[in-house]
Amino acid sequence: MKVLSIILLSILGLLSLCEVNEPSKTRNIQSVSGLFLNSFKHKFEQAVDHVGGHTQCAKDLKALLKNLVLLRRWAIKMIDASAKIPPGVFNGNYIATGDYDQCLEVKVTEKSLNITGQYCSVVILPSSKFSNEVGLLFDAAAFSEFIGMKRRYQMSDLVKFLRATFGLCIPNSCSISNLQKLWDYIEITFRVPVHMHFMNVLCNTADKTMEIYSHDKCIFFIFAVYGAILLIATIYDVFYHNKSDGEANMLVCFSVYSNCKKLFSYAESPGDVKHYLDSLNGLKVIGMLWIVYAHRALFSSMSSTNAVYVHKVWKFTLPGIISTAAVMSVDMFFSFSGLLLSYGYLTYTSTVARVTNTNLFAVQLYRLLR
């Protein structure tokens, strides 16, 4: 309400200037705009000084605002690269990205200034300190109900993970701690109904390298070990196992050559039952690719510029239908897996082993290793 009052007073002041004579109109408008810019500059500098005025981040932020008042090109580019309130907010368009490349291109090295652009995607949440209807726009679950968006039970869980994001272009000297303290002070002092959450993983500069976390290293290690097993098994299968008597070998189960050969071949005898079951392996592959595609499309849609619009319109298009229907591929994959397991077990017990007791743990371990 305070912001709205300031805007209305500004408009009334500018309209009143239209009643003066022409020679002084432009000069008066410039003086009024300068008055508001200087007032904002003074308030902003007070906030920066309160949270840490002696840091390099504070000095660069003050320099940015000072040069913005002077209409310096690099300062205007940083503000221009930051996101603005997008149109269609009430239609779910509350993800504003800004201009990533333009922000990283900013580099100032003049006099005592050494500023490089840093792009940060800020997560916007409703303020826990001040409740307001404005905060409804940044609560995805409540907002979807407010605009009357119908959701299936799968979408209800998905919408909970959607967050409004806002792209900011700031000096690279500002750390996440500096920015978070500054916004927390602004939020409390000016009773802003939204909370901005800064994360290091969502900030990037031109010379910043991708950060690798400990769990990423574990995943890379597991894939490296598994890849080494596949390579060793394939080399053994191609150069040694095929030249020998071809007896069953545990290592051959991991051979890429043998598995691909089984996957893309079929029995020549049409009367053989296995001739019809081999096609299920191909359908299982299609099912797995379907699931991977659906997850990739789902994660991509969550980072789009209008995530709510994606789930209102995109899911009714052909690519969207294929993605949302991927739940059927999961059922198909497990059904075929159970069918092939039952067929293999019955074939083994009736023709080979004729056993009555089965070690279920060994069977599941074998399936997991496969």
Q: Are 265 and 125 in contact (CB under 8 A)?
A: no
Instruction: Provide the terminal-to-terminal Cα distance of the chain, rounded to the nearest Å.
Output: 64
Q: What is the pLDDT of residue 223?
A: 92
Q: Where are the alpha helices (DSSP H) in the chain?
A: 2-17, 22-52, 56-69, 73-81, 100-105, 140-146, 153-159, 176-189, 214-236, 256-263, 273-302, 307-312, 318-324, 326-347, 360-369
Query: For each of the chain's 370 residues, which pLDDT tens digit applies?
Result: 444 344 434 444 443 444 444 444 444 445 555 666 667 777 777 788 877 778 899 899 989 988 888 889 999 999 999 998 877 766 667 778 888 889 999 999 887 889 999 999 998 887 776 665 555 556 655 555 555 555 554 555 555 556 778 899 999 999 999 999 989 888 888 888 788 889 888 899 988 877 777 888 898 999 999 999 999 999 988 887 666 665 667 788 888 888 777 766 655 555 555 555 666 777 777 888 888 888 888 777 666 555 666 666 777 888 888 888 888 888 887 888 788 778 777 777 776 556 556 677 777 777 777 6
Q: What is the pLDDT of residue 13?
A: 47
Q: What is the pLDDT of residue 307?
A: 60
Cα–Cα distances (Å) from 88 to 92, 185, 209, in that order, read: 7, 29, 35
Strand partners, 116: 107
Cα–Cα distances (Å) from 162 to 195, 257, 259, in that order, read: 15, 43, 40
**Residues contacting 241, CB < 8 A, separation 6+:** 249, 252, 255
β-pairing, 194-197 vs 113-126, is antiparallel
Nearest partner of 195 among 136, 126, 139, judged by Cα: 126
In angstroms, rounded to a whole number, what is the distance separating the alpha carbons of residues 202 and 323? 27
Q: Are 193 and 127 in contact (CB under 8 A)?
A: yes
Tokens of 287: 């099912």
In angstroms, rounded to a whole number, what is the distance separating the alpha carbons of residues 132 and 113? 40
In angstroms, rounded to a whole number, what is the distance separating the alpha carbons of residues 114 and 120? 19
Nearest partner of 327 among 272, 270, 287, 356, judged by Cα: 287
Amino acid (1-letter code) at residue 245 = D
Q: What is the pLDDT of residue 335?
A: 84
User: How many whole angstroms from its chain centre is CA 218?
Assistant: 21
Q: Are 345 and 359 in contact (CB under 8 A)?
A: no
